[in-house]
Amino acid sequence: RNAPLDAEQVERLGLPARLVRTALVEGAQSPSPTMNVATAELMHGLNSLAAAHPVERGSGPGRAIRLDCPESRADGDAAFTIRTVDGDIRIGGNSDLACLYGAYALLRELSLGTDPDTLDIDSAPAMPLRLLNHWDNPDGHVERGYAGRSIFDWWHLPERLDQRMIDYARANASVGINGAVVNNVNARAFMLEPRYIEKLARLADAWRPYGIRVYLSARFSAPTEIDGGDIGRLETADPLDPQVRAWWQAKADEIYAAIPDFGGFLVKANSEGQPGPQDYGRTHADGANMLAQAIGDRGTVIWRAFVYSAQDETDRAKQAYEEFVPLDGAFADNVIVQVKNGAIDFQPREPFHPMFGAMPQTRLMLEVQITKEYLGFASHLAFLAPMWREVLDADTGRGGSVAEVVAPAGMAGVANTGSDRNWSGSDFDQANWYAFGRLAWDPALSSDTIAREWLAQTFNREEAFLAQTAPMMLSSRETVARYMTPLGLAHLMATGHHYGPAPWVCDLDRPEWNPCYYHRADSDGIGFDRTATGSNALGQYAPAIADTWSDPATMDEHYLLWFHHLDWDYRTQSGLPLWDELVQRYDQGVTEVDTMVHTWDDLSAYVDPERHRAVAENLRIQQREANWWRDASIAYWQSLNGLPLPQGARAPS
């Protein structure tokens, strides 16, 4: 629900307006469900923006808002236009889904205060797939979820459809998201059983008018764990075994019989203990192509590249590239390989994954994490658009940016939704869901634009408010990176849950689960040597890009200790010794959180008391914990290097 426009804006809007829909296409019996949704959303949204001026349907006086789209299936061309001609606002496009997206875009523009007489918008999604990945388990627990329980009520489906499922579809469609993988990548095989397909079909029916397709995470060993119709249960899940292929073919047919527009399977294979084709001496391509054949041209197999094994102790960051790049060209046309933004795991900052650009014959999709597993869960404020932009904008050195590389496939965001009243665990975390959809639609949008859009629609559209809060959002992720993992450090979070600092942990069985594996600090220095003298992960990047990171004296210091192991007294680009520079960055991060707390405290006039207080309370948690991160990290480094706090450093809290 949007805050009402002021009197002058309502006047300009020319309400009461008339909502006019194009006539039905020839032969159609009734308006399509998608057009009905578009109409209902416009009525609802305009009435909310101009509370005392109801919008009417059909002819009469006042401005007309025309929806000029053929009433087709909801999976058509999503591109839309919005123009004001002779006072009338016309939303046009080649499918009813285009009109739905246009309706949401019109509401967004009006709620930002755009003059309705100047509307002249052409918009089309940059990528075909804009998907949420839910790490939701069927028992209601969400892996890495910080917003309560799962929103999917499998227990009561298919009979009972929670209204939340409709609101979820509306929220997604309003930002351009067009698909959802509803279960965790660490998948349970029974989600493929008929009883779950029936539940999934109910969701698919409910979401279809909103242009949202359902996908399932598929457990690779499912043929050995559950019956496959007439075929029953098998002894093997070997992708080259004819019986296994028949099992998956039958399973795919069964799903498509219930859900004709089923999106496809997402697969995590041979990673973190999950089963996969390598269990049978086969490759990722063998596994993916077997599923791709079962699905055929009805959908997509999305195969994750997040793989690492306990055996390789040299550098976890290199494994995905080593396993996948030799398979370039071997994947079927309806396979997409989904690659995390960086080569480790959703850290506050990572250089872009070296696979981007390195597999020109394979469609690659970008996976980012909306839920903030390594950025302070839902209690720390970190607006992630700048982080995602950093990846999207990165030049791969192999003929395009990451955004260009993934454009033929899409973007996946690990969802941050849950049963909390605010959906996302905190009010500001809604902005990350919003930003994900907006960037997947248009990766050229600036973080500032997205922050302002969200703030204006969520809290208040007054410039005095936006001028304070947008900059706070824009710098928030950098602030978190400073007090948690400055200068390119990574994975120093407490093990298991990943909340709070634990750089000292070094006794876990799997070497790459220990924070000490990543910082490699001792009495002499700190950092992971990924140059030719070390793991040479740097060598996986295009030479032109590797060059920019090879010299600590000239490189972007945000990645300094990611690529280099340096002495504590190494002179950084500021002229300060590394130790002093590191402490200074921790201090800066803490000071910036202090500023965020004060900025927000001063904005109570612009936000309702309930949400103002909720945000303020979270910021106080963040303030305490930024100090915790800074103090604990510095104390630990001092236990190794024996150095005093540099002059002028903050005192421990």
Q: Catalytic residue positions?
A: 272, 345, 373
Which of 144/318 has CB closer to ligand GCU? 144
Which of 272/463 has CB closer to ligand GCU? 272
Q: Assign 367 to helix, strand or coil.
A: strand
Q: How many residues bind ligand GCU (CB under 6 A)?
A: 9
**Residue 176 · residue 169 · CB < 8 Å:** no
Identify any residues that bridge with 301 across adjacent strands, giving them in sequence order. Answer: 265, 335
Based on the shown chain and the rule CB under 6 A, indicate whether residue 66 belongs to the binding site for ligand GCU. no
Which of 144/461 has CB closer to ligand GCU? 144
**Residue 41 · residue 85 · CB < 8 Å:** no
Q: What is d(CA 622, CA 250) in angstroms, rounded to the nearest whole number?
A: 51
Each residue 337-376 as x (binds ligand GCU by CB under 6 A) or -, in order, gives --------x---------------------------x---
CB of 217 to ligand GCU, least distance (A): 10
Based on the shown chain and the rule CB under 6 A, indicate whether residue 142 belongs to the binding site for ligand GCU. no
CB of 135 to ligand GCU, least distance (A): 7
CB of 76 to ligand GCU, least distance (A): 33
Based on the shown chain and the rule CB under 6 A, indicate whether residue 144 belongs to the binding site for ligand GCU. yes
Give the pair of three-digit tokens for residue 84. Answer: 């004001």
Which of 238/373 has CB closer to ligand GCU? 373
Which of 185/431 has CB closer to ligand GCU? 185
CB of 67 to ligand GCU, least distance (A): 40
Residues from 373 through 392 that contact ligand GCU (CB under 6 A): 373
At residue 278, φ and ψ (nearest 5 deg) are -65, -20
Which of 55/378 has CB closer to ligand GCU? 378
CB of 512 to ligand GCU, least distance (A): 11
Q: What is d(CA 401, CA 343) in angstroms, rounded to the nearest whole number?
A: 17
Give the pair of three-digit tokens for residue 602. Answer: 């001063």
Q: What is d(CA 583, CA 194) in angstroms, rounded to the nearest whole number?
A: 57
Each residue 240-279 as x (binds ligand GCU by CB under 6 A) or -, in order, gives ----------------------------x---x-------
Which of 272/617 has CB closer to ligand GCU? 272
CA nearest to 146, candidates 420, 492, 480: 420
Distances (CA, A) of 103 to 64, 68, 398, 439, 516: 14, 11, 38, 19, 51
What is the secondary structure of 209-255 as a DSSP string? GGT-EEEEE--TTHHHHS--GGG---S---TT-HHHHHHHHHHHHHH
Residues from 298 through 317 that contact ligand GCU (CB under 6 A): 306
Is the preceding omega at residue 16 within 30 degrees of 0, hence cis? yes
Binds ligand GCU by CB under 6 A, chosen from 84, 94, 123, 186: 186
Based on the shown chain and the rule CB under 6 A, indicate whether residue 143 belongs to the binding site for ligand GCU. yes
Based on the shown chain and the rule CB under 6 A, indicate whether residue 36 belongs to the binding site for ligand GCU. no
Based on the shown chain and the rule CB under 6 A, indicate whether residue 185 belongs to the binding site for ligand GCU. yes
Could you count the other beta carbons within 10 Å of the beta carbon of residue 312? 13
Burial class (CB in 10 A: 0-12, 13-18, 19+), 297: exposed
Q: What is d(CA 298, CA 335) in angstroms, rounded to the nearest whole number?
A: 12
Distances (CA, A) of 428 to 37, 77, 406, 449, 614: 27, 32, 27, 16, 10
Based on the shown chain and the rule CB under 6 A, indicate whether residue 512 belongs to the binding site for ligand GCU. no
Which of 270/627 has CB closer to ligand GCU? 270
What is the secondary structure of 393-422 as a DSSP string? H-B-SSSSBHHHHHTTTEEEEE----SSTT
CA nearest to 98, candidates 123, 121, 117: 123
Residues that bind ligand GCU (CB under 6 A): 143-144, 185-186, 268, 272, 306, 345, 373
